[in-house]
Amino acid sequence: MSLPIWILTGPTACGKTDIAIKIAEIFSAEIVSADSMLVYRGMDIGTEKPLPEVRNKIQHHLIDVVEPWEEYSVGRYVKDFESVIQSLYQRDKPFVVVGGTALYLKAIMNGLFEGPSADWEYRNYLKSIAMKEGLNALHRMLADIDPEAASKLHFNDQKRVIRALEVFKKTGKSISSFQTQFGCNNPKYNCVEVAINYDRDVLYKRIEARVDRMFQRGLINEVQTLLNNPLGLSKQASQALGYKEIIDFFNGKCTLSEATDVIKRNTRRFAKRQMTWFRSFPNIHWVHAQADDDTKRLSEIAIEWFIQNKPLQV
């Protein structure tokens, strides 16, 4: 029998963490993170990680899993997630999954296509083509061998376009042919998904307020502390929103004011990409929040939908 799982998601700055905490308080539940940046220890302010006092009160999982100089993949996340979920069920402990990393959520709901290992020589070759001829050249290559994948990927999504080409080179099959095996619900879990969203203008104001709050809490000092460690940051961690831009500021590529503006702009763009992902989830239920909605009301709406579709039973 599939295990029932409540998933709460939405774009960055929509307030899903606070809503999840309220739900956890009501049900004496624990929280399982689905956020690719919360896994890193020491990256607290730029990710708006739940405060220690909150985590002491409500158990959070899959936060502070690795050091910031380590890599962390979706494949590892799925394994860690499954371990946590099994432990929660063995303890008869209710929980809610919360996060905005669409790839993690998709892997939970649909299973994971890991595919063949990386071919770094071929990847570098493809990157050289992109440098000489532009990203459109790679997208055209993909369209020739896998029109379905090409239709789903923007030509600017270099990472996934290259991965699709790499899979074809190593297997002789399109990545779409593999992914269709994982295109239906994961038989392990019976997921009920709720997404919080605001009108664009309201969400953008929330994003700006969040970025301002990060600076007030000490984002610059946090990034400096991370960089002072001789082991540095992994490529994945160094590209995190808010961190990459401050690193550029430290390297003299921009002023602090420019870095702040770029963080806000990039966060808005990230939220837009998240929404594109979430709209592709077939069974997601949208909660359209208003500017004056509070956490209590939004948590009640989410709980009502969760219970109607799958009571939280363990």
> What is the pLDDT, as a whole number, of residue 135?
87
- Tokens linked to 139: 């997208």
Report the DSSP pairing between strands 95-98 and 3-9. Answer: parallel
Q: Which residues of the chain have pLDDT under 70?
A: 1-2, 113-115, 178-187, 310-314
Residues 6 or more apart whose Cβ sits within 8 Å of residue 63: 33, 35, 38, 39, 49, 50, 55
> What is the pLDDT, as a whole number, of residue 312?
57
Which residues share a beta bridge with 171?
none
pLDDT single digits (tens) 60-86: 999 999 999 999 998 899 999 999 999
> What is the pLDDT, as a whole number, of residue 154?
80
Residue type, 106: K
Task: Considering the domain delimited by 3-111+186-309, tell me its CATH architecture.
Answer: 3-Layer(aba) Sandwich (3.40)
Residues 6 or more apart whose Cβ sits within 8 Å of residue 99: 9, 16, 33, 34, 35, 38, 105
Q: Where are the domains of the chain?
A: 3-111+186-309, 120-182
- Tokens linked to 91: 């303890």
CB 138 within 8 A of CB 129: yes
* Verdict on whether the full-model pTM lies above 0.85: no
Q: Starting at the edge strand that comes first in sequence, how are the strands of the sheet with 60-61 ordered?
A: 60-61, 30-33, 95-98, 3-9, 189-197, 285-288
> What is the pLDDT, as a whole number, of residue 153?
83
The third-level CATH classification (topology) of the domain covering 120-182 is Histone, subunit A (1.10.20)
